[in-house]
Amino acid sequence: MTQAVKHPAIRFAAGIVISAAFILATLSRVDAGQVIRALQEVRPAGLVVALVLVWLEIGVRAVRWRALLAPIRRVPFTGCLAYLCIGYFANTLLPGRLGDVARAYLAGTAFGIGRLVTFGTILIERFSDGITILVIVVVSGLLVAAGDVLAASAFQLLVAGAAVAAIVATAAVLAVRTGLTETRAGTAAQKVIRPLLDGGAALRRPAGIATLLGLTLLAFGLAVVAFDATAAAVGLELTIVEAAFVMGALALSTAIPAGPGSVGTYEFVGVTVLVSLGFPAEPALASVLLVHLLAALPPAIAGLGALWAYHLRIGSLVRQSAPKPLSDTAA
């Protein structure tokens, strides 16, 4: 067995153990019978509304990715949507959001763009999502009851993220001005760093930054309303601020190392936050389970269909996510 196969297998096994632990912790807090009854009494109309909103969110994210790719190469919306869904599908199979790595490889090849450049656009997506979510959790946490602890943690993460970004930017400037890029190590580093930076070409103009921020906020807003509709279908009446707070916490939960699709950690965090807001644990778990399914399953199914349409194999997702250098070639 090669190292490239061993590493994903180890990560997968560790993620399953972590997910199982969180699943057990969540189930220990609820009456399973009441959760089942809550699911049986769900109002279907609310789920239909939520499903439509989920697809709108995915479409907005595809538009955002297309805008990031536009200065590098014009890519059809359908292509962006297809490979975005392939990435979602890969994330349901692979731990640690390795589906993003697979998306960079497969889309970089298909679009005729360097893989590192493509990965650079995905990093910008993730950074934009992360900053937006942290800001929303901080603001909404200050406005809802019992939200101050999570808001404080989010604020600390926000400050830490800003500090890291400032350090990285400063280091890059110093490396260029002091001539470190002329060394052998500097030359090797540039082969990785420059393509990643090229992925941010859309941000060299104020309009590009505004587009990124606007589409990121719109995508998250649609996710919040989708969660609110799902919770209402279960019988939980949240204010829009509470829905934004819970959705922000759920989004942050995907950063916890766990099994594919963040199964277990997602549910544990969702129930914990909803209970802290005063909602019963059983309908809270029912709503989180439903929103998790609605957010993950439709794009994953679409991604599987895109793999079939593009004559790609599921095994290629695992191979492309294996730990190895990202070649900056499209072939």
Judge whether 284 lies within some domain. Answer: yes
Between 157 and 35, residue with greater pLDDT: 35
Total domains in the chain come to: 1
- Taking the C-alpha atoms of residue 302 and residue 87, their distance in angstroms, rounded to an integer, is 10
What are 191-228's pLDDT values in tens digits?
667 777 788 889 989 999 999 999 999 999 999 999 99
| CA–CA separation, 161 and 155 (whole Å) | 10
Band of residue 4 on the pLDDT scale cut at 50, 70, 90? very low
What was the pLDDT predicted at 271?
95
pLDDT single digits (tens) 256-265: 887 778 888 9
> For the residues 84-106, what does the mean pLDDT come to?
86
Residue 167 lies in domain: 3-321
User: Are 282 and 42 spatial neighbours (Cβ–Cβ below 8 Å)?
Assistant: no
More confident position, 175 or 79: 79
User: Is 330 part of a structural domain of the chain?
Assistant: no
277 domain-assigned: yes
- Convert the pLDDT of each residue in 43-74 to its tens digit: 999 999 999 999 999 999 999 999 999 999 99
pLDDT of the residue at 11: 66
Indicate whether 152 belongs to any domain. Answer: yes
Within-domain flag for 331: no
Is 181's pLDDT higher than 80? Answer: no
**Phi–psi pair at 41, nearest 5 degrees:** -95, 10
150, 134 in Cβ contact below 8 A? no
pTM recorded for the entire structure: 0.86
Lowest mean pLDDT among 4-8, 66-70, 310-314: 4-8
Confidence category of residue 315, pLDDT binned at 50, 70, 90: low
Task: Say what the pLDDT of residue 321 is.
Answer: 55
pLDDT in tens, 131-144: 999 999 999 888 88
Residue 100 lies inside a defined structural domain of this protein: yes
CA–CA distances in Å: residue 122 to residues 96, 196, 249: 15, 10, 21
Query: Is residue 326 in some structural domain?
Result: no
Domain annotation covers residue 151: yes
pLDDT of residue 255: 84
Supply 107's token pair: 């889309």
Residue 187 burial (C-beta neighbours within 10 Å; 0-12, 13-18, 19+): exposed
Q: Is the pLDDT of residue 116 over 70?
A: yes
State residue 155's pLDDT score. Answer: 78
> Helix 44-69 and helix 77-93: axis angle, to 10°?
120
